[in-house]
């Protein structure tokens, strides 16, 4: 009989605890704006960005006259944006909506670094495109692009981006917060489904 009573108390404690977590999130974090105001625009931007970046990459790969050295700058930018829209965008949205990270410290550090790398690669690639266009406009005859220049530029862009994003790996961390302890458990998906139903 005491074992049966313990199971009932445990089930009651768990359900109440999850309700408390849900109420904290609903009442404190989404009182005025609601999660729907974030999910839809984020989803539209991520889907549209991923599809358009994929379209650019496929177009350049499949069309022979588009495969030139300058268009590979655009492909590099599209690849960075595709990674941003497919990987870091949805995970950032998840973190924003839930305010916790259930996948551990290492994945938290890696995702922060990947997000920073994507941002730096996009920005530096735009700088390279602008510099190339400027020099092409300034001296069109004297500015031939060497065959190895884009490859060297890509390597430099990615290397600088990795180095610039390295501090994110060491500065960001996730910690177990006892109030949200169930979310750091291996059964997080089942718990989320339980709360949503």
Other C-beta atoms closer than 10 Å to the C-beta of 35 total 15
Percent of the chain with pLDDT over 70: 65
Query: Mean per-residue pLDDT for 25-43?
Result: 67
Between CA 42 and CA 89 the distance in angstroms is 8
User: Which band of pLDDT confidence, cut at 50, 70 and 90, is reported for residue 6?
Assistant: very low
Those residues whose C-beta lies under 8 Å from the C-beta of residue 116, and which sit 6 or more positions away, are: 161, 164, 165, 168
Average pLDDT of the segment spanning 35-63: 89
In whole angstroms, what is the distance from residue 150 CA to residue 140 CA? 18
Residue 9 — very low, low, confident or very high, per pLDDT cuts 50/70/90?
Answer: very low
pLDDT in tens, 132-166: 888 888 877 766 666 667 778 889 999 999 999 99
**88/32: higher pLDDT:** 88
Residue range 89-145, pLDDT digits in tens? 888 888 777 777 778 888 888 988 999 999 999 999 999 889 888 888 887 776 666
For residues 142 and 33, the model is more confident at 142
For 101, other C-beta atoms within 10 Å of its C-beta total 22
Q: Nearest-CA neighbor of 185 among 107, 90, 104? A: 104
- Specify the pLDDT at position 52: 96
Q: Which fold has domain 9-174?
A: Rhopdopsin 7-helix transmembrane proteins (1.20.1070)
Three-class SS of 174-189: CCCCHHHHHHHCCCHH
Higher-confidence position of 69 and 84: 84
pLDDT above 80: residue 5: no
Secondary structure in 3-state letters for 124-139 = HHHHHHHHHHHHHHHC
Phi, psi of 141 (to 5 degrees): -80, -35
Query: CA–CA separation, 100 vs 29, rounded Å?
Result: 12
Place of tokens 């105001």: 37
Dist CA 119 CA 124 (whole Å) = 9
Distance of CA 11 to the CA centre of its chain: 36
Is the per-residue pLDDT at 185 higher than 60?
no
Residues 6+ apart with CB under 8 A from 34: none
> How confident is the model at residue 33, as a pLDDT?
58
pTM over 0.85: no
Residue that wins the pLDDT comparison between 188 and 36: 36
Asked if the model's pLDDT at residue 178 lies above 70, the reply is no
* Distance (Å, whole) CA 63 – CA 191: 48
C-alpha 133 chain-centroid distance? 30
36 pLDDT tier (thresholds 50, 70, 90): low
The pLDDT mean for the chain works out to: 77
């Amino acid at each position: 009989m005491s074992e049966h009573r313990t199971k009932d108390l445990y089930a009651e404690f768990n359900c109440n605890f999850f309700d408390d977590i849900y109420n904290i999130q609903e009442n404190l974090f989404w009182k005025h704006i609601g999660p729907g105001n974030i999910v839809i625009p984020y989803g539209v931007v991520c889907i549209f960005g991923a599809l358009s970046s994929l379209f650019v990459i496929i177009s350049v790969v499949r069309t022979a006259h588009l495969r030139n050295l300058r268009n590979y700058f655009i492909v590099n930018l599209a690849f960075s944006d595709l990674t941003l829209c497919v990987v870091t965008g949805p995970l950032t949205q998840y973190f924003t909506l839930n305010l916790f990270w259930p996948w551990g410290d290492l994945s938290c550090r890696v995702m922060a670094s990947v997000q920073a790398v994507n941002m730096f690669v996009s920005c530096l690639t735009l700088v390279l495109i602008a510099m190339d266009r400027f020099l092409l406009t300034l001296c069109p005859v004297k500015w031939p692009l060497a065959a190895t220049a884009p490859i060297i530029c890509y390597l430099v862009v990615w290397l600088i981006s990795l180095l610039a994003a390295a501090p994110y790996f060491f500065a960001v961390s996730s910690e177990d917060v006892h109030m949200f302890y169930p979310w750091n458990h291996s059964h997080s998906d089942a718990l989320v489904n339980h709360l949503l139903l």
